[in-house]
Amino acid sequence: MTSRRTTDIERLKREYRALRAPEHLADRIRVRVRAGAGRDTRRSAAGPAVAALAAAAAALLVALPWQGQGAGEADIRPTSLTVLSLAAQSRAGGSVPGLSAIRGMTLPSAPARPANDTGPAAPPPADDGLEDLRNHSRNDEEKDHANS
């Protein structure tokens, strides 16, 4: 026959509820939270990761209007390169440029076009040639009328 060990829950509960946190714990917590609060403030003020993220976000904001340009895809490239170079600078641990510095940056201009390059083909005007034809016809009519 096996003897089963019994546990008086009510008695155990009384013993358990007699457990109290040490007297000094509240004071210790008070000291720690106040010290911790100061440390948190300093940490967040000097957070380099936050600064790097802010710089990358600002660079993206600067780049976005350029990506909206429809004509001349090549014009986007310098802007994208600028963002990449900023990201590389942040990773290398170098000084992160401030927002005002990023806004003040001038983007490299696109390469100069050859003199005979007329650029992207412009859409033909709606009355291409018709006006000349009309003028020509009008002049011929005037001449015929004068000769008659």
Partner 1 sequence: MTEPSDVELVQRFRSGDPEAFETLVRRHQHRLYRLASVWLRDPRQAEDAVQEIFLRAWRGLAGFRFRAAPFTWLYRTARHVCGEYNRGRRAESLEAEPADPADGPERRADDDEAARRVRQLVAVLAPRQREVVMLRIFEELTVAETARAMGCRQGTVKALLHKAIARLRSEGAEGLE
29 vs 81, beta carbon nearer partner 1: 29
Please tell me the distance from the alpha carbon of residue 138 to that of residue 8, in angstroms, as a whole number: 119
Please tell me the distance from the alpha carbon of residue 89 to that of residue 103, in angstroms, as a whole number: 17
> For residues 76 and 69, is the Cβ–Cβ distance under 8 A?
yes
Show the 3-state SS of 108-125. CCCCCCCCCCCCCCCCCC
Binding residues with partner 1: total (CB under 8 A): 31
41 vs 85, beta carbon nearer partner 1: 41
Q: Does 10 help bind partner 1 (rule: CB under 8 A)? A: yes
Q: Does 44 help bind partner 1 (rule: CB under 8 A)? A: no
Least separation in angstroms between residue 18's CB and partner 1 is 7
Contact residues: partner 1, CB under 8 A: 4-13, 15-26, 28-30, 32-34, 36-37, 40
